[in-house]
Structure 1
Amino acid sequence: MGINRRIFLSSMAVLPALSGVLLPSATQAQSPMPSGVLPSWNDGPAKQAILEFVRSTTDQGSSKFVPPEERIATFDQDGTLWVEHPIYSQVVYCLDRVPALAETDPKLKDVEPFKTVLSGDREAIAKLSLHDLEKILFATLTGMSVDDFEAEVKKWLASARDARWKRPYTDLIYQPMLEVLQHLRSNGFKTYIVTGGGQDFVRVYSERVYGVPPEQVVGTAAGTKYGYQKDGTPFLTKEPKLLLNDDNAGKPEGIHLMIGRRPRAAFGNSTGDREMLEYTGAGDGARLMMLVLHDDAQREYAYGPAQGLPETKVGTFSQELYDEAKKKNWTVISMKNDWKRILASES
């Protein structure tokens, strides 16, 4: 199985962000959306592009009208719908699962790379090889029933806290993007999450957090195997076999495989989303392609390296991608200039 390159790169770059001790508390529900259309957006080209796209594609008298069945919008998750720095949340989950694995299989305490993770030595953890990380991902994401995996993810989400904001990861959702999701759905669009993250992982919380049901989540997917419990009850086991690497070119491939229609609108934030936006823009009629640029170090994070922003291996937004966006009239959303409010959990 080839583990998603996004997970590998993020792990190697920022493993010192290992969350450590989990805090007991229930995940809080997202705050209600303020009244009005896109109230967390500043007036400007980005907001107007969204409003005009929705207006023109839903007005039957418009030359850009799109029939309801063709109204498909796809959204990357990490860095587009929620915070991805300094490390992808799913990677933190995998590392946090190691102590529980060692409790069920004590031999792991003396086996690398599990021994290093259990030591809590962040410097040593950051030096783990890709092969070591693959062992951790295999052990924490496969080898259990899909029901057990869902239960474990729910338990982790209810207790894990982001190191900076000290909040559940599901609190770190971008309010402006929640408003876009709702505005599109209220105008007959079907919204999908198309993510390089694990499909089963995101499906656990997608409906509660984003209003996107699990069947509308397309992500990196591993195989499953059908079997029976001792009492004859059927169940599925997660296997270490890659079915879809839903990143880069894998995104349009996954869209075709799982959705079956080319999106009319696509939202991303990194080079991993390029092909999804290219594929969307290659269709006929009205199209909307948007990229979130993280340029607000004070309220969130700033990284690129487009436009001279700091280099990063997590959510890379290259100058090449920025130039392509300008050339093809994709809209680049400035987090600093276009968003009045960033996190849904902000008061």
Structure 2
Amino acid sequence: KSFNCWNDCESLSALIEFVEDVTNEKSPNFIPQKDRIATFDMDGSFLGELYPTYLEYNMLEYRVLEDPSYKGKASESELEAANAIRDFVRSGKKLPPHFDMIHAHAAAKAYSGMSIEEFDSYVKKYCEKSPNGFTGMNYFQSFYKPMLEVFDYLKSKGFTSYVVTGSDRFIARALVSSINIEPENVIGMDVLLKSTNQGDVEGVNYTYTTDEQLLRTDTLLIKNLKTNKVKQIAQEIGKIPVLSFGN
């Protein structure tokens, strides 16, 4: 595999040297293919992050302030979060402290009631828009090409790559499907899901029926940042990554 988008640099040389070593069966550092795990942060690592803010922030602003189908439905907390994003994007006004969690709770509310399929379609339709500050491209085209070459290189060497992001898991799944990353290889922020007719009954006491769908709720389960990423890797992958990439 070639690295056409890279200059000769220490980081690329170190990566190639390491990978060639651990995939050489004669090396004392050889790693079996089943243990070749690589994890990638998304925003800022292989996806453009600062245009001038996160995709999921831009999408919440649109959902709450512009989406005709959601007009008049947003709560006060959703409106505050969306307007904070708008002020930051348009005038550079600093976001409130701990805005990652403010956004997470607002986003959980904003998409509550959508089925998994509806939300996937919603994200993909939004991603056809141009990122703030860009023309002639959409969100599906906003991946860093040098990092896509790293994905391809590692795949050719028997590595399994996972996306481990602070962004919503289902937003990330919809986005990275365009670069052939499977949904089971995406770990991210999660909200509680429930089935169509479940109501307030706990899932352990309710039996899913064949005519139901899974719906998003407004209950945030985890914002997948910092140490939470480490915990989620342990719970979902069950192996320590050989390589981890972040911006």
TM-score, structure 2 as length reference? 0.81
- SS at structure 2 position matched to 1:240: strand
* Residues 38, 47 of structure 1: 8 Å contact kept: no
Which structure 2 segments of 5+ residues have no match? 199-208
RMSD: 3.0
1:164 is aligned to 2:116 = no
- The 2-side partners of 1:121 and 1:75 are apart by 28
Deviating more after overlay: 52-61 vs 233-242: 233-242
The equivalent position to 1:80 in structure 2, one of 45, 51, 68, is 45
- The 1-side partners of 2:80 and 2:12 are apart by 50
1:220 is aligned to 2:189 = yes
* Residues 108, 115 of structure 1: 8 Å contact kept: no
- The 2-side partners of 1:96 and 1:171 are apart by 19
| CA deviation after TM superposition for structure 1 residue 196, in Å | 0.7
* Residues 60, 107 of structure 2: 8 Å contact kept: yes
Name the counterpart of 1:258.
236
- SS at structure 2 position matched to 1:47: helix
* Residues 113, 217 of structure 2: 8 Å contact kept: yes
Please list every run of at least 4 consecutive aligned residues from structure 1 whose deviation after the TM superposition is greater than 4 angstroms.
Answer: 99-105, 115-118, 123-135
| CA deviation after TM superposition for structure 1 residue 138, in Å | 3.2
Name the counterpart of 2:6.
41
Q: 1:132 to 1:90 in 2, by over 3 A?
A: closer
| CA deviation after TM superposition for structure 1 residue 136, in Å | 3.9
Letter in 2 for 1:241: T
Name the counterpart of 2:116.
146
Which structure 1 segments of 5+ residues have no match? 1-35, 270-347
* Residues 113, 128 of structure 1: 8 Å contact kept: no
Report 1 or 2 for greater relative contact order, CA contacts < 8 Å, sequence distance ≥ 6.
Answer: 2
Q: 1:103 to 1:47 in 2, by over 3 A?
A: closer
TM-score, structure 1 as length reference? 0.59
- The 2-side partners of 1:63 and 1:113 are apart by 55
Name the counterpart of 1:60.
25
- SS at structure 2 position matched to 1:266: strand
1:84-135 residue CA offsets vs partner (Å, 9 max, x unmatched): 10100111001101246664553659x67639968x9847995886697566
1:71 is aligned to 2:41 = no
Give the % identical residues. Answer: 29
1:13-64 residue CA offsets vs partner (Å, 9 max, x unmatched): xxxxxxxxxxxxxxxxxxxxxxx52221111211111111111111100111
Name the counterpart of 1:30.
none
- The 2-side partners of 1:50 and 1:252 are apart by 22
How many residues align? The count is 229
